[in-house]
Amino acid sequence: MQHKKKRVEKTSRRGFLGQALTAAGTAIAAPSLLNQATTAKDASQSNPGEMNVKLTVNGKQQTLDLEPRVTLLDALRDRLGLVGSKKGCDHGQCGACTVLIDGQRVYSCLALAVMQEGKAIITIEGLAKGDTLHPVQAAFIDNDGFQCGYCTPGQICASVALLDEVKQGCASVVTPDLARPPQLAELSEAEIKERLSGNLCRCSAYNGIVAAVQQATGQKVPSPAATVMVNEPQETPV
């Protein structure tokens, strides 16, 4: 009996000491664990897989923290406030988001922002020089090359690239002689329509758009007045 009583007392003392040590260790470690958890949480909230990206937009370098999946269009509109480039289809089918990258027209909704480092990006906001419009911008105004205006930034950027492509001697599908690409002064209406076929205008202001490009090439713009042919109905003899 005495041995049994002593054994119970020994077990009780060991349990008590173990609980005390556990409680003391928890009290010491808890602040450190809480600080680590808070730091990890803050880091995950401020930088959830983002990358530091340097973009040169309209001649200015911009530094952004972006996820690799962010498109150039979303970076321009949502992070830089350059909302001139429009989000139309978001599938590279309408051309409303067209911008210039190293002088070439690109659908910004299909281009990843992180892949544009070291390249010169020009949006519709960067075409004008102060208060002086780009010749293509002025031509669109002169020839009513827009209605609602939603597709106009992409149309203008594409037209600027079109002029540079012709200057570089680029041919198109409708160029009759690939060995002799057209010059600006002789660029046909069919050539202009084909080269701008990747930019859609749901208002169908295509006549004004073509005329604007013709004006920018230095050609004489056709009169906007339409010739309406009216035939009087002929009476059918009884």
Domains, the chain:
49-126 (3.10.20.30), 128-221 (1.10.150.120)
Per-residue pLDDT of the chain (238 residues; tens, 9 = 90+): 555 544 544 456 666 656 665 655 555 555 655 565 555 555 445 577 899 999 999 999 999 999 999 999 999 999 999 999 999 999 999 999 999 999 999 999 999 999 999 999 999 999 999 999 999 999 999 999 999 999 999 999 999 999 999 999 999 999 999 999 999 999 999 999 999 999 999 999 999 999 999 999 999 987 766 555 566 667 766 6
d(Cα 210, Cα 94) in Å, to the nearest integer?
A: 17
Q: What is the pLDDT of residue 222?
A: 78
Q: What is the pLDDT of residue 35?
A: 62
Nearest to 100 by CA among 133, 142, 137, 72: 72
SS (H, E, C) 58-99: CCEEEEEEECCCCEHHHHHHHHCCCCCCCCCCCCCCCCCCEE
